[in-house]
Structure 1
Amino acid sequence: MDYTAREYWNGIIKMCLSRFFILRVLYTQPMHGYEIARTVAEVTKGCCTPTEGTIYPVLREFEEGGYVTSAVEIAGGRERKVYTLTPKGQEAFRVAVDAWREVTNYILQAIKVPEDRE
């Protein structure tokens, strides 16, 4: 493990944030998997871009936990699953927002480096 590598920290941060941003985009409206990935990339300005290998296991986990439901719809002759947040999923997003706000405040305080250390 190279803790001096930016890629290491970016990977850890993005892995944690992917669940948050999936909830975030579904909080606004139901979406299918590709649309979720595209919208997360847009909302984060490319910082967090979940791949199929990330997004579908998370969606499956959310569905099994009762945070999302899915329905198959036909678009252009092809089937696709559309995911919708349940009330439990909406509550999970609100709790996540509060938790991330708190953590973000601590991070911002922690990264203030005293002037004699810069």
Structure 2
Amino acid sequence: MKYETEEYWNGLVRMSLSRFFILRVLCCRSLHGYEITKEVAALTEGCCAPTEGGLYPVLREFEENGLVTCVTELNGKRERKVYSLTEKGTRAYETASKAWMKAAEYILAEVSRPGL
């Protein structure tokens, strides 16, 4: 039954796309976690905004794999981690862009076909 629900498919799409959009917003400038979430939400009109619980494991994975770097900055008395895209992260974003464009072409072609 779950395969027939929009929630199931939206969850799968959003989970994958949020990774893409995290890289996308970091292409423009270095950001801390809350800013990343807000930028992705604005860019996708809320469709793919990662939650705090979903964002930091992805950022940690990206950091472990050399896609982002993290620097701790002092903001007043608070510390916050600021994430920046590396050259490897930029290449990963470019590769992901090509892959998503290809997938989008196929999806658009299929959903516009008569007979469904």
Moved over 3 A (4+): none
Matches for 1:27-106 after TM superposition, within 5 Å: 27-106=27-106
* TM-score, normalising length: structure 1: 0.94
Unpaired segments ≥5 residues, structure 2: none
Unpaired segments ≥5 residues, structure 1: none
Matches for 1:10-29 after TM superposition, within 5 Å: 10-29=10-29
SS at match of 2:4: coil
Separation in structure 1 between the aligned mates of residue 103 and residue 14 of structure 2, nearest angstrom? 15
RMSD across aligned positions (CA): 1.0
Matches for 1:1-12 after TM superposition, within 5 Å: 1-12=1-12
Instruction: Report the residue type matching 2:107 in the other structure.
Output: I
* TM-score, normalising length: structure 2: 0.96
**Aligned-pair distance for 1:48?**
1.0
Instruction: Report the residue type matching 1:75 in the other structure.
Output: N
**Aligned-pair distance for 1:3?**
1.1
Instruction: Report the residue type matching 2:15 in the other structure.
Output: M
Separation in structure 2 between the aligned mates of residue 76 and residue 35 of structure 1, nearest angstrom? 17
**Aligned-pair distance for 1:65?**
0.2
